[in-house]
Amino acid sequence: MRQYDLVVLGAGSGNMLLSEEFDGLRTAIVDPDRFGGTCLNRGCIPSKMFVVAADAAEDARTAQRLGVHASVSHVDWKSVRDRVFNRIDPLHESAVEYRRGKGVDVFTEAARFVAPKVLEVGTERITAETIVVAVGSRPVVPDIPGLDTVAFHTSDTIMRIDDLPASMLVLGGGFIAAEFGHVFSSFGVDVTIVQRGPRLLMAEDEQVSQRFTELAAQRQRLLLDSEVTAVEPKGDGVTARVAGPDGEHDVEAGMLLVCVGRRPNTDRLRAAAGGLQLDEHGHVVTDDAYRTSVPGVWALGDAVNHFQLKHVANAESRVVRHNILHPQDVRTLSNNVAPHAVFTSPQIACVGLTEQEARHRGIDYVVSVRDYADTAYGWALEDTTSFVKLLASRADRMLLGAHIIGPQAATLIQPLIQAMSLGLTVDRIGRDVMYIHPALTEAVEQALLGL
């Protein structure tokens, strides 16, 4: 059995853990998939590269409102796709070569615990004083009758298809459905989305969710309060039986995309055999310092948290690195301010509490909403649907939540994230800071002054 000082399970954010401070240790990294994890290979980065192309197509089609008469004659899907993956795919081999060149043993087979701190990797067994579990997550495949008889895609595979279908049926109404709905409808695909709830993006603030649903309905066919009860092949595509408020009916599409959630990969790890405690969703249970129930074993990323966000995993990786190197000065990480963005159309960004969460908790709060249309740059955009929504505590004048729907939302929200992280009152960030005129940040400023 090979003995190591440090073994990292997962080459996504786990790979980022291995800084030069570990160069003197006997180290191994284990991942049966590609280096870079979900984010690089089939998540954040490639999907946003597709979104940029979709935004370009949509901007051309909607430029008439500005007096610019443009059109999109053709979307070369293969060129769009190859631009993305010709840049991403070579990174795996270079990452493996880099790690091996630094003296790190790289295992490309799956790891499974056979005992606490003992792993089976292929035909070998390895052990280590310190182990970091960063095995990520994967798409959930629902138990729908007939799904095993049809060709379907998940977010893992949809970006690598050879040709655009004429039509696509999307199961799910979360951020993955919203982003891919935007991409494929912008590329000319007839998109139908089936969502169990009454709105898309139900986890967002209800006002944002409602506005986005209204706008998405102008571009895609939405079947709300509905679910797919069965599927079967139909030529090169699929027929789905959909049950909704008006009963059951069939929906045909050239391609099926399933995006109903993700699950941690801990079940493939035999976590229980390693002595790791899991919660009811399969996430490894840790403390705020990311120590597991087994001394010397740490965990981070999608295997631990429910956010499924790369920037959260990166922050956790930095904390775990510090704690392994400095066991007498352990740091913790609070996820109370964990922002996220949905790169759909319009873009959405959020941090902190939604209004429905604040109501549910019985918090005494105030709300301020400002439309982009109230700013000079909003006039320039001819924007009539975007807004900034802020919640603050009446008791201490601190921001509780920030929600933006509209162009550049993921950028506009950053000063509000910093304010919440640094404990600044709305008075300080609203009155003591200058906001550039006539930038879109004036919508943020006006919402703050409204509070």
Residues marked active site are found at 437
Q: What is the largest CA-CA distance in the chain?
A: 71
Structure tokens at 337: 């301010």
Q: Are 245 and 229 in contact (CB under 8 A)?
A: no
Provide the β-strand partners of residue 425. Answer: 398
Q: Which residue has the tokens 């935004």?
A: 55
Task: Please state at what angle helix 77-88 crosses helix 44-62, rounded to 10 degrees.
Answer: 150
